[in-house]
Amino acid sequence: MTSLFDKHQLGRLELPNRVVMAPMTRVRAGAGGLATPAMATYYAQRATAGLIVSEGVQPSLIGQSNPGTPGLHTDEQVESWRPVTAAVHANGGRIFAQIMHGGRVSHPDTNGLQPAGPSAVPAVGEVFTPTGRQPAPMPRAMTTSEVPEHARSYGEAARRGVEAGFDGVELHGANGYLIQQFLSDNANLRTDQYGGAVANRIRFAVEAVAHTVDAIGAARTGIRLSPGATIWGVQENDVPALYTALLKELAPLDLAYLHLEVTTDEATLRTLRDLWPGTLIINPGPVLGPGQTRPSDADYWLQRGADLISFGRAFIANPDLVERLRTGLPLAPADESTYFEGGTHGYLTYPAYQHTAA
């Protein structure tokens, strides 16, 4: 029976266990989207994970969704990431950068630019800005000639990521950000080759992945998807047909992995597992709201075809999560009020398990 603590071959990487640290926005970057020494410590503390996937990293200034997030679109940003990846590798770890283009989920107060998405349809809800939450603004619709530039930005950021020492990248195609906006029925109202029929709505995702593969190779490229998720107001009316079509286009590219969130019914997820020939990471959730992935959730999905299991919140307060899971130690709770507050409190202040004498 497959265990969380079995090894797994992921492209060129041999993972010592099947525990993945899921990408989590922590808004601790410096001015100019630079990675910081605190970020190097944070990721190095968690290097016992089989694989770390970083927080979302914007591939361009217009792609920035939240204030305080890092980028991979300037030489200075590349230099700032090198100590981070070096620290993870020095501790024996492996790390992919998650490339995240926010699309319509942004605000001019964050990056000085009007958000751009598939169509002039605002996200639902309030977005983060430097002065607090504000209603999501009206985005401008990307022109047909402009869309390929945004697809290429994933590959350009991936190339910079490898230069910065990352072992690979994960395209963020989930949670209502740009790739899922193109997949959506209600955020994408286009009438050109990027909208309408399923074959057109998956085109942007396929092009973004293809550019990334061209830039750094398939063995260093993964993608995260959240089939049927309605975060930021996106809707997908026929999830099985949409994601079946997408995976049939992506499967021949021989990517490092597919990372699925449990955001649709199990029957659909198992169908997608059958369609995907390579490594599958499952993130059992919950995507939003309280709670953490439990060991029982991991075992459940490992026995249903997942190769790796990603844990998000559990890694925040448990830098030694792998060892706690291996030995059955209790998991420490995280202080949710510190998730996005900046600084090192609630970021670097969680210790490994403290054993006491009997």
Burial (Cβ within 10 Å: 0-12, 13-18, ≥19) of residue 146: exposed
Decide: 111 and 59 in contact? Cβ < 8 Å.
no
Which amino acid would we find at residue 73?
Answer: H
CA torsion 314-320-325-328 (nearest 10°) is -110
Backbone torsions φ then ψ of 38, nearest 5 degrees: -65, -35
**Cα 188–chain centre separation:** 21
Q: How many CB atoms lie within 10 A of CB 138?
A: 13
Report the C-alpha gap between 35 and 70 in whole angstroms: 6
Check 154, 177, 194, 243 and give the catalytic one.
177
Residues paired with residue 152 on neighbouring β-strands, in sequence order: none
Question: For this structure, is 177 an active site residue?
Answer: yes
Residues 6+ apart with CB under 8 A from 172: 23, 56, 98, 99, 100, 101, 179, 224
The number of residues in the chain equals 358
Question: Going along 40-174, which residue ranges are E strands?
Answer: 51-57, 95-99, 116-117, 126-129, 132-135, 140-141, 168-173
Q: Which helix (H) or strand (E) holds 214?
A: helix 203-216
| Active centre residues (catalytic) | 177
